[in-house]
Structure 1
Amino acid sequence: MQSSNPVFTRSEGFNGKNQTSYASFDQPAYGGPITHTGAGTGRMTIDSVVQKTGITLGILVVVAAAVWIGTGDVLHNTQDIHGNDVTKVDTDKAQLLYTLSIVGAFGGFILSLVNSFKRVISPALVIAYAALEGLFVGAMSKVFQLQFGGGVVTGAVIGTIAAVAGTLAAYKIFDIQVSNKFRTWVIGMMFGFVAVTLLDAVLGIFKSSIGFNGFGGLGLLMSVVGLGLGVLMLILDFDFVERGIAAGLPERESWRAAFGFTVTIIWIYIELLRILAILRGND
């Protein structure tokens, strides 16, 4: 079955198309046989996918933690002219968080496009993507923590782990089969969701935002829908990896799988973070 996920469409194996004998591998020659006589090669396995995903997520977490710790205390207590205790924002550190989030978001977006459409996956670019997303996630998480109080980031992290584990368990226990129709609907909804949120972001520049990206009722609804889409995308990821392993893709393609999982996990985390922030803001 043909995959519509841009992360995996560059590889025939992820689309269930077994190529030729995979006794040994080099860079995947998409659309043709894969041959190699060098050392240190092998087939992609569940273990190799888990290892590469662990590396990318580990880098993301380390960079995010470095941003969180390195920016220090953005809020500090002081007294006004009347001797009253007040909390002030360190504008320099707040600006630094904003800059890091922008650099991470745009840099990660560019590399996500490069990695999605690159015919031969580059481990270095996948790692660079994880590092840039670490900048974005770390800075954004700290801003949310400061604005909406303690617990939103911890809750989003725990919720993300639970969502991934629960989806994997459901996928294996209930032996979920991904049909062409299911895949088409999920991908269609994903692109529709992205288009609507981007449109709202553009309208926001002209002070005409509809509220899809806001923190009101409509924003909450969009984040709930986004979370549901993230779970469905995770199911597609599991299916794509199973197809790739069955097709005998080279171990290097584990990096493509790791990249796909990282994209989806970040998606789920951001939506959960927004949901918890909106609920906390409405208390």
Structure 2
Amino acid sequence: MANPVFNNSPVFQDPSARKGNGTTAAPESTIDAVTLEKMYGSPSATARQTGRLTYDDVIMKTGGLLALLVVVAAGSWAVTPQLPWLYWVGAIAGLVLGMVNAFRREPSPALIIAYTVAEGVFVGGISYLFQNWAVPGTVDGTAQPIVLQAVVATIATFAAALFLFRSGKVRVTPKFTKWVLISLVGYVVFSLLNLVLSFFMSSDGFGPLRNGVWGLLAGLFAVGLAAACLIMDFDSIKRGVEKGAPAKFAWSAAFGLIVTLVWLYLEFLRLFAMLSRN
């Protein structure tokens, strides 16, 4: 093997290539026939027993993080009337922790949990503000329950994306991946431009490029893009399981799913707010 990484590791070395006189006597077998038969007849080790990534690990980690996010978001919702600036703290902390986790080679459960808490603070606060500021009819109690609508729509989209992926109707091909990446770059540029223009042009509260029909179309495009990213997340998790990745990377998989789900929820929240205004 020419790769020095394999050459320097005893795990991958060829026993006949060890240093010395170049020859190694074959060890005599000390295992009798009965013991050998028992070894062949014993059940093979599961992925969990060998420390490899499993779907159960990803489901458990993702479910736990989602539960934590919901609990923190509920608390943030309750205190937002007294601390309306708190969601900004969650947004900034979530952005920083998200970048740190995204560029780490090894997953850190503590940092991923901290990110989830920060996102919970942000999601709870922004949801309260959308429900009580962006939606008409809040004062007289006739406002549309856009938060509940966004939650239901997020769950439904997640289920639909998983079904399409599992059924093979949507496959992550190089062409699909290229389209998603180009669309993501375009959407980021669009969002930044909308943010900059909001300081100089009037709008309905979502930026001048989000006004009227164009805003609704942009919202629908963003929802579709987030759903496509979910399918790519599923494909990445599948490849990790099939390649026998270490079990600790279940944290990375759960982190990636949380990021996409929060984005999808926020897009639905904004979309339903715009629909209620129109």
TM-score, normalised with respect to structure 1:
0.73
Q: How many residues get paired?
A: 221
The one-character-per-residue Cα deviations of 1:171-222 (angstroms, maximum 9, x if unpaired) are 112353211121111012112101210222123234477623x453332221
CA contact (8 A) 2:144 2:276 kept: no
Aligned with 2:219 (options 214, 223, 230): 223
Distance 2:168 2:239 in 1: 18
Superposed CA RMSD in Å reads 2.0
Counterpart of 1:274?
270
Distance 1:177 1:249 in 2: 22
Q: CA deviation at 1:150?
A: 4.0
- The unaligned stretches of length 5 or more in structure 1 are 1-20, 22-39, 75-92
Aligned with 1:203 (options 187, 197, 200): 197
Counterpart of 2:155?
161
CA contact (8 A) 1:211 1:218 kept: no
Partner amino acid, structure 2, of 1:220 = L
Distance 1:41 1:113 in 2: 31
CA contact (8 A) 1:52 1:254 kept: yes
Q: Superposed, which structure 2 residues align to 1:2-151 within 5 Å?
A: 42-71=51-80, 74=81, 93=82, 96-97=83-84, 99-147=85-133, 148=135, 149-151=143-145
The one-character-per-residue Cα deviations of 1:60-86 (angstroms, maximum 9, x if unpaired) are 111100111234xx4xxxxxxxxxxxx
Partner amino acid, structure 1, of 2:53 = M
Partner amino acid, structure 1, of 2:193 = L
Query: Aligned in 2, Cα 1:208/1:114: closer, same or farther, shift over 3 Å?
Result: farther
Confirm or deny that 1:192 pairs with 2:186. Answer: yes
Q: CA deviation at 1:44?
A: 0.9
Distance 2:247 2:260 in 1: 21
- State the SS of the aligned residue for 1:248: coil
Counterpart of 2:30?
none
Counterpart of 2:243?
247
CA contact (8 A) 1:157 1:269 kept: yes
Distance 1:150 1:221 in 2: 20
Aligned with 1:179 (options 155, 173, 179): 173
Query: Aligned in 2, Cα 1:208/1:244: closer, same or farther, shift over 3 Å?
Result: same
The one-character-per-residue Cα deviations of 1:93-124 (angstroms, maximum 9, x if unpaired) are 3xx22x12211112111111111111111111
Partner amino acid, structure 2, of 1:44 = L
Distance 1:228 1:138 in 2: 24
The one-character-per-residue Cα deviations of 1:244-275 (angstroms, maximum 9, x if unpaired) are 11111111100100011001111111111111
CA contact (8 A) 2:197 2:208 kept: no
> Larger radius of gyration, structure 1 or 2?
2
Distance 1:199 1:170 in 2: 33
Q: CA deviation at 1:227?
A: 0.2
CA contact (8 A) 2:201 2:208 kept: no
Query: Aligned in 2, Cα 1:139/1:41: closer, same or farther, shift over 3 Å?
Result: farther
With 231-240 and 108-117 compared, the bigger mean Cα shift is at: 108-117
Distance 1:241 1:175 in 2: 18
Distance 2:277 2:259 in 1: 27
Q: CA deviation at 1:57?
A: 1.1
- State the SS of the aligned residue for 1:205: coil
